[in-house]
């Protein structure tokens, strides 16, 4: 979910406004407003607090949703070189500058991209085998198809 906001941002600027890639990723992405939005969705304290609140209110689906956002942020933290989020926003403006990037080829992004694609494929296969209910398989299939379309788009746009 934290990255869905970034995808929506990109879709708006690219598909609706027709902005150039350079403007989107070097100017608009770093605008203070957008950084606050992105960092809010990647904030470990905010998502952890929302998960605890959902647990307290006996809303397990919401708790799982916010907990998954929190886990995403913990896993996201070590994989940004110069575009990291403020994972402890609003309490801190600190950003971890990792030697590894999940996307930047100058910081092992190609290798990480292969690893990520393999992890998603294996995870989807595992979930398809484990869950026999049609609804679960539709959800997993939708995730797999969305990821495949995203990979195709990335290769077409940036390769």
pLDDT digits (tens, 9 = 90+) for 123-136: 999 999 999 999 99
The whole-number pLDDT of residue 159 equals 60
The predicted model scores a pTM of 0.80
The whole-number pLDDT of residue 158 equals 66
Distance between CA atoms of 101 and 84, rounded to whole angstroms? Answer: 9
The whole-number pLDDT of residue 156 equals 76
The whole-number pLDDT of residue 139 equals 92
CB atoms within 10 A of CB 140: 19
pLDDT digits (tens, 9 = 90+) for 91-125: 999 999 999 998 888 999 889 888 888 999 999 99
The whole-number pLDDT of residue 92 equals 95
**Is 9's pLDDT higher than 80?**
yes
pLDDT digits (tens, 9 = 90+) for 19-71: 999 999 999 999 999 999 999 999 999 999 999 999 999 999 999 999 999 99
Distance between CA atoms of 79 and 96, rounded to whole angstroms? Answer: 9
Distance between CA atoms of 133 and 152, rounded to whole angstroms? Answer: 29
Closest CA to 35 of 9, 16, 13: 9
The full set of domain ranges for the chain reads 1-98, 103-159
Distance between CA atoms of 10 and 102, rounded to whole angstroms? Answer: 18
**Is 152's pLDDT higher than 90?**
no
Which residues in 38-65 are b (16+ Cβ under 10 Å) and which e? bbbbbbbebbbebbeebeeeeeeeebeb
Distance between CA atoms of 47 and 67, rounded to whole angstroms? Answer: 7
């Amino acid at each position: 979910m934290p990255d869905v906001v970034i995808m929506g941002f990109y879709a708006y600027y690219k598909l609706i406004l027709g902005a150039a890639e350079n403007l989107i990723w070097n100017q608009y992405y770093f605008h203070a407003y957008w950084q606050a939005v992105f960092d809010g969705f990647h904030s470990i304290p905010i998502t952890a607090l929302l998960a605890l609140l959902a647990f307290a209110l006996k809303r397990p689906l919401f708790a799982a949703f916010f907990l998954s956002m929190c886990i995403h942020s913990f896993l996201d933290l070590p994989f940004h070189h110069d575009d990291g989020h403020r994972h402890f926003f609003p309490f801190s403006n600190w950003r971890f500058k990792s030697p590894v990037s999940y996307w930047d080829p100058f910081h092992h992004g190609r290798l990480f991209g292969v690893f990520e694609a393999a992890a998603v494929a294996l995870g989807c296969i595992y979930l398809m085998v484990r869950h026999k209910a049609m609804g679960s398989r539709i959800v997993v299939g939708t995730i797999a198809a969305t990821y495949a379309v995203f990979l195709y788009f990335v290769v077409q746009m940036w390769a």
